[in-house]
Structure 1
């Protein structure tokens, strides 16, 4: 009689990596980078350490891939919003709303992205790790530039007032990213509730820079 395949054997390699990343993101979110071990990720996934090491040589490599996935998900959420209908302010609002929603939809991954910034600034890293972190932080800068460009366009037509667009955008994005500390997925009532919360968050932010007639 043919042997029944285990879950890991039945899945293709890409699906296995997705499972590892999801499990690792939750572990890093709950315990932080330094306190999380490969053992923790393996236990959460219900597999052996060897299964994890088949795909990742170290915890750091796994963390970097979770960070990279978190940024990919942010770009995937925001890029369609850059084509929103309306003037520059309407597009900026659509982008911020998409970002806010992505922070909730991918809470664990975006928490890891925030941890990556802290490690980049304060963590002890090897030269190779520093180079990888520099690449990841560069992707954050490109993400921020999307919003700066749109904010400049909105200011150019008098829809927002901001003396320093760079600071204004950092404050906008920082306010949304702070949701990793207070948003609780377990108390979530579903997609409609996340839409309403994202809209309220963005309205509060935009009201601070909207031009008054």
Structure 2
């Protein structure tokens, strides 16, 4: 579904993510989203049946955006330190590029309270959970590889995983885009966050200088 978005659907999701980020999911309305699009709300309803469905679609797309960049890296035949470096940089750059999607996700903590979800929204929630689990498993695998190779500290993979994800998601909370920022500036941000991730797992800090 999210992988095969039409141009119109993508434009709607972009506008929805921006409205949800600026106004909050509770306040932002379909009218607000349509206004930002410069269209009627009928166009929005043509693709999405409710604001709740739009919110879950934004969440699903946020994970899809990460997955499409990070999964190919995770599948490469590289040493675990080099692989985690590349994965974490790709993750942060994706957040910086699609900040509205990821900020909405980071601030919307209620999406898994399924009692109030409509039947059509339940399917989307399950897709989000499934894709998020698959995304986390990419990191679980590389962490386990690093532990077995002796380059990552022998500690709980689950605790390590969720800790580094918090680090990589940090820009959702403190990053503010500026017009004068270049792609080099963004790359430096991603590199700095990646350094924090690697320092959290490496057995020997000197390994940080090798990648």
Alignment: residue pair count: 200
* Contact persistence 2:57–2:124 (CA under 8 A): no
Counterpart residue number, 1:126: 117
* Residue segments in structure 1 that go unaligned for 5+ positions in a row: 1-12
* 3-state SS, counterpart of residue 47 of structure 2: coil
Structure 1 length normalisation: TM-score? 0.85
Query: What is the RMSD computed on CA atoms of the aligned residues?
Result: 2.1
Q: CA distance change for structure 1 residues 73 and 19 in 2, over 3 Å: closer, same or farther? A: same
- 1:96 deviation in Å? 1.0
* Contact persistence 1:81–1:95 (CA under 8 A): yes
Alignment partner for residue 188 of structure 2, among 192, 196, 199?
Answer: 196
Counterpart residue number, 1:33: 25
Is residue 70 from structure 1 mapped to residue 31 from structure 2 by the alignment? no
- 1:113 deviation in Å? 2.9
- 1:172 deviation in Å? 0.2
Structure 2 length normalisation: TM-score? 0.86
* Residue segments in structure 2 that go unaligned for 5+ positions in a row: 207-211
* Contact persistence 2:30–2:51 (CA under 8 A): yes
* Contact persistence 2:60–2:124 (CA under 8 A): no
Q: CA distance change for structure 1 residues 123 and 187 in 2, over 3 Å: closer, same or farther? A: farther
* 3-state SS, counterpart of residue 140 of structure 1: helix
Is residue 140 from structure 1 mapped to residue 129 from structure 2 by the alignment? no
* Contact persistence 1:71–1:113 (CA under 8 A): no
Q: Which has the larger radius of gyration?
A: 1
* Contact persistence 1:83–1:91 (CA under 8 A): no
Counterpart residue number, 2:209: none
